[in-house]
Structure 1
Amino acid sequence: MSEPRWLAGDERETWLSFAALLELLPSSLDAQLHRDADLTHFEYYVLAILSEATERTLRMGVLARATNATLPRLSRVVSGLERRGFVTRATCPSDRRATNATLTDAGFAHLAAAAPGHVEHVRTIVFDVLTPEQVAALGAASDAMLGVLDPDGHARAGADLASGGRSDDAQA
């Protein structure tokens, strides 16, 4: 068994700072969205991904990959969004074994109303405190880590949906 590769002093300090950020950021995003739009960050993310899909519709499996969720978790969240009239589910016309989720007009309107406050919060807690060089470094560091954690790019699929994502078998 090889010797552990312990973190050097600067690595340890960076890791502790980053670990604190990983703990604080989700609760900050959730608190703002809950206060302003009665949504969790994950619910907002689901609505945002659907809003960028063709016809605002995706197969549940595609949506699960794009949001890095298990199907049971996604189904539970989508059920809540359905009860609020923000999403509908229907059998996929091209594969009756699959289910499509569709963002409703009410869901789109709620997302559109929530977006300005959410973007302002993200700007305040992330981008306003960083220099342009730090923003570029954050992007590069995030991409490098995602390359290890998500080599197939499923968690970054939302960006691809805006440029032509489809709800049919091509995205299965």
Structure 2
Amino acid sequence: MDPVRLRQALDDVFDGALLRHGFTGYMRDYQVVIHMTTDPRSGIAPSTLRYLFRHCVRADCATTVPAGVWRASLDDRLITHGTGADLDGYVWGVNWQCLYPGMTLVTDSPAAREWAAAVGIDFHEVRIQTNAHDLTLIFSDLLIEEIPSEWHGPDYMFPIP
């Protein structure tokens, strides 16, 4: 994939809502599901996009939630919005993370170069940062598709008037 097009695709979802991420069922490709909204007055309808990072040879995930917040967020009531909303701690149950600072292309990635030399196709490195996770992916191609609305985003749970 052309790095200019890749960078634009990453920029297009800046500050969206990360709904899900992980390997697909067949475990070769890594998917990131993002919900995008704008001010309702813009007339632009919300959309849910699946970013499919194809031929993903590396997926690293680390928390960005500080240890002290984790300590205050161990209560299982925090994994459901209804029971966790009024508790102290990180409410995991909102079921989304803010895609901020967002997705960035790591230019001149040694890991991507090594995989490209070993496999014989281009590879790229992307860093995905949210308010709860920091992901690093090494992959060869990116497919983007809009997916059905049953993957409700945060505007479903927290409507914007």
TM-score normalised to structure 2 length: 0.26
Larger radius of gyration: 1
User: Greater helix percent: which structure?
Assistant: 1
The structure in which a higher percent of residues are strand is 2
